Amino acid sequence: MTSDEYQEKLKRVLGQANGVDLSDDEKIDAFIETMPREDGGVVGGNTTCAQVTDGETTIVLDAGSGIRPLGQRLMGSEFGKGQGEAHILFSHHHHDHTNGFPFFVPAYIPGNQMHFYGVHEALEERMVGLQVREYFPVPFHVMGSQKHFHQIEPDVPFTIGEFEITPTQLNHPGHSYGYRFHWRDKVFVFATDSEYKNPSEEEYEHYVDFMSNADLLYFDGQYSLVEAFIKEDWGHSSAMAGVDFSVRSNVKQLVIGHHDPVYADVTILEMQQDAIFYRDFNYPDSELAIAAAFEGDSYDLSQ
């Protein structure tokens, strides 16, 4: 967030506070609860990282800069005692999905176990290359945790704890892979970094099957519909494509992520509203829930 964007947010907040009793902390907290989301918080500027957990198993999706605050939080658990075990799954290895790992504090703690999973070949070499001395002062293998590497195959399920996980190839330069999680009777699909440009009927049905009946779908909606056409072949999509796939795949909840870093918070929330309008206009009977991803959001699928 730039200073100009912050000042615009501050002006909106002060306008909403006009005439409101803010005489104590309780009243201030109550006022904040009534504010629009774009004013009461921030989307956040960290790059892609998400945690999936059932309370027993810790799975991390990608290692963008968001893995740094995640690591700080995990240090308050068994990871701070050198007794943690993390399973890190990579969609691909572009900088915005890997640049946070050198700052992931649990990886420095002796006794912690780090498991790395990826479809791309030479996973260990890729991780080592992130921290050669020309780019970072601490080499990868100097980090104190024990490291394990797992080569996985597209469309071949594997298990971590109680999770059955299936990777599938998406459309992105150098290839990106999404992950479908099946836990008990719940399904979560992580589909970042993909463009759905003129898929064949077979490819389209494959994507629909991959997302089918998801309780929660995280979808790359980086661009507006117009910009998605302008930036063809950049490997990203729009929220409207996410709505189309969600309705076709019987998804319950769509979370739009991988926001364009040039977009202000207000713009991202406007894109969320555009997606809701698009749903209502094109699929008036749909009960699909739609939300833009905010840093720190959590979704409980255990109920």
pLDDT for 285 equals 97
In DSSP terms, 260 is beta-bridged to: none
pLDDT for 84 equals 98
Half-sphere exposure of 264 (CA within 13 A, CB side): 13
* pLDDT classification of 291: cutoffs 50, 70, 90: very high
* pLDDT classification of 288: cutoffs 50, 70, 90: very high
At 77-100, the pLDDT tens digits run: 999 999 999 999 999 999 999 999
Is the pTM here over 0.85, yes or no? yes
Residue 172: partners with Cβ closer than 8 Å, 6 or more residues away: 92, 193, 194, 195, 235, 236
Considering the segment(s) 47-152 as one domain, its CATH architecture is 4-Layer Sandwich (3.60)
pLDDT for 94 equals 97
Judge whether 47-152 and 153-293 match in fold. Answer: yes
Domain boundaries along the sequence of the chain: 47-152, 153-293
* pLDDT classification of 143: cutoffs 50, 70, 90: very high
Residue range 153-293 in CATH 3.60.15.10: yes
At 62-77, the pLDDT tens digits run: 999 999 999 999 999 9
Residues 35 and 12 sit within 8 Å (Cβ to Cβ): no
- Mean pLDDT, range 158-180, rounded to an integer: 97
